[in-house]
Chains A and B, each alone.
Chain A
Amino acid sequence: MGHDMRFRQTFIAAAVAGILAAAYAAPSVAAEGADKPPGVKWSFSGPFGKYDQAQLQRGFKVYREVCSACHGLELLSFRNLAERGGPGFTEPQAAAIAAEYQVTDGPNDAGDMFQRAGRVADHFPKPFPNENAARAANGGAAPPDFSVIAKARTYERGFPQFIIDMVTQYQEQGPDYIAALLTGYADPPKDFALPEGAHYNKYFAGHAIKMPPPLQAGQVEYTDGTPTTVEQYSHDITAFLMWAAEPHMEARKRAGLQVMIFLIVFAGLLYFTKKKVWKKVELHPEDLTPRKPTEYKA
């Protein structure tokens, strides 16, 4: 058996092993008694994916005007809005946005807590003082924080789709689920017993969701001519949430390309070096003499 062939077999076997390993990771959460999200074409998917700055800014507008009434963004600071790879606000813009919020600070010299205008270093204020307050105001279900929600939601892809996903780099289960959920409100089927205070949603596990349909057409004004439909809103807010969950994604994928190019070139060079070194062993085995004792010289 030739060396190339053996290598090819090894490589294929290693690739298969890797895929199988990854396959196990296929999450088995959510999605019982729920439809599969249709999937959206995101600007940030794939190895060269980037966030669409205009979309992130629109999504932030939707968050501010609709979602932020109930959902926090507590892991993010206002400064993040002006950081590279994000919505692309300028620093003065981020400072102006921060100043529109009231933030609790203190204690001051008198020992009292006080309210002041937000600064870029501040985190987004929470909509409720604590979880019990959040629950009490929302019919017993506390609205989840939005900081990492795009990575905290998923749906099962099933076999063999998850193996194909390893190769195609599909990993937008979270955004696809969120976008589908926001547009998935419908009238319940006749035989469906909807609990009191719940709403029917095609994509929510168990279909009964406490959150009323949050988005209505025309609810948020867009100044750039983008259509103000529920579908458009849902895409924009979802893209914004993906950025909130993964603010360094662009830097990561950019570094990934550099690393990949380096590793592939390096592997190629090592392969040919290895071939040259081993040629002697393979072609002239009778000539194989052990190395003479020497001092190793670098």
Chain B
Amino acid sequence: MSGHLTYQPRSPIMKWMERRLPIAGLVYSSFIAYPTPRNLNYWWTFGGILSLMLVVQIITGIVLAMHYTPHVDLAFKSVEGIMRDVNYGWLLRYVHANGAAMFFLAAYVHMFRGMYYGSYKEPREVLWILGVILLLLMIMTGFMGYVLPWGQMSYWAAVVITNLFSAIPIVGESIVTWLWGGFAVGNPTLNRFFSLHYLLPFVIAGVVVLHVWALHVVGQNNPTGIEPKTEKDVVAFTPYATIKDGFLMIVFCILFAWFVFYMPNTLGHADNYIPANPQVTPAHIVPEWYFLPFYAILRAIPDKLMGVIALISAIVVLAFLPWLDTSPVRSARYRPLYKQLFWVFVAVCVGLGWLGSQPAEGGFVIAARILTIYYFAHFLVIMPVLGWVERTRPLPNSIAESVLKDGVPIGASAPAPAKAKV
């Protein structure tokens, strides 16, 4: 479909260049002529938003690293130095800290969109698995970044999470000591977290390249879940997708700016403005909001090792979704039962998040156990069984047919003239 839309340089300079390094041709075929389904809705703009957030985080992070000192006695003060004495340091730090939250928000929306429309299904399994790897990398990067300001929550988050490895039989304790670089969370731990926090975003950027590459091999899914068949089903990436992505990026930035400029500390914890103190444990150790569902799953299991296994499985199970979902139909639009169960699953994730923020006692633990069981049942029981029992609705013959009726756009009052000039 896209084969004939190749880049043909006209100017001598571009002709010279194209014979040596066809980078203009790559950009042209990937971001200009690249055919995208004409019916993509705004949920498809979050991939672009995520790219924007990655760039924002890397740029602000590089400048912050110029002013930050990874030492247990100086980290907290150096962050406050950024806030007080570096020109626009407060802006850099608030953009970076709130940017992490916005990054996760966009990632979760992006993933839920993929789940709703069955974007992980054949032939997009590798694309989806690369996305799960990106989520894992983001979680590691986000966690290590949160440790760097070396406040109370930073320190105790590092203690709690590194201690999870001690649940591994026999070698657990040795692994924890190795991770710490000592016999407690201390300066070596902070130093290696800083080093890895600087490294991992570039690993993320690399996997993003693979993710986009895989996307451009298989093409985008779309709300109907059926593949584009003719040129009537697609539009060129530029200008159609670029303008749509660009518009929602700016709308997303409004939400982002709301937090950065007006309530920059709302998404964080007050305790992290208390310098780390190994002798004082905070009343509640709570991770950042984007880890709360996983934290609830961890705490729901009474056994430490099983809790850690559940925590890791909660993410890894996503990678198997392409094979756990047995339905021949991709989009929830034509799957009446799945459509409802999808929203139940979203509610379960939100519920787990809320439970993760509550103390692990009494009714909260029971509720967390029920929701944890449901979380795994969604993947391991509901998705396979639903594919066999669900009566799906008839699919349209083509994407164009789904948005047109007798050649007329659905919702248009009068038929469009046959040979209209615009």
- Which residues of A line the B interface, CB within 8 A? 1-2, 6-7, 10-11, 14-15, 17-18, 20-30, 32, 47, 75-76, 80, 144, 147-149, 151-154, 165-166, 169, 171, 173-174, 205, 245, 247-248, 251-253, 255-256, 259-260, 263-264, 266-267, 270-271, 273-274, 277-291, 293-296
Contact = CB atoms under 8 A, between A and B. Distances in A.
Contacts, number: 213
Given A10-B41, A263-B250, A281-B38, A274 B243 contact: yes
Nearest to A206: B283
Interface in B86-106: 90-91, 94, 101, 104-105
Given A252-B264, A266-B250, A291-B33, A2 B411 contact: yes
A251 B87 CA distance: 11
B109 A283 contact: no
B409 A288 contact: no
Contacts of A291: 5, 33, 236
B270 A281 contact: no
Interface residues of B, number: 93
B59 interface: no
Contacts of A149: 273
Interface core residue of B84, B236, B411 (most chain A CB under 10 Å): B84
A147 B246 contact: no
Given A24-B354, A29-B282, A267-B250, A285 B403 contact: yes
A174 B273 CA distance: 11
B265 interface: yes
A208 B4 CA distance: 78
Contacts of A286: 232, 407, 416, 418
B318 to A, nearest CB: 19
A140 to B, nearest CB: 13
Given A21-B289, A248-B90, A295 B10 contact: yes
B208 to A, nearest CB: 22
Given A6-B41, A22-B267, A24-B354, A14 B261 contact: no
B284 A28 contact: yes
B412 A270 contact: no
A79 B8 CA distance: 62
B83 interface: yes
B250 A169 contact: no
A22 B359 contact: no
A267 B6 CA distance: 32
18 contacts: A2-B411, A6-B42, A17-B105, A21-B105, A24-B290, A25-B266, A26-B357, A75-B80, A151-B265, A152-B273, A153-B270, A270-B250, A282-B409, A283-B409, A284-B416, A290-B231, A293-B5, A295-B11
B178 to A, nearest CB: 31
A252 B243 contact: no
A7 B244 CA distance: 11
A27 B289 CA distance: 10
Nearest to A162: B266
B240 interface: yes
A255 B262 CA distance: 10
Nearest to A171: B263
B185 interface: no
B311 to A, nearest CB: 17
A22 B243 contact: no
Interface in B223-260: 231-232, 235-236, 239-240, 243-244, 246-248, 250-255, 257-260
Nearest to B283: A29
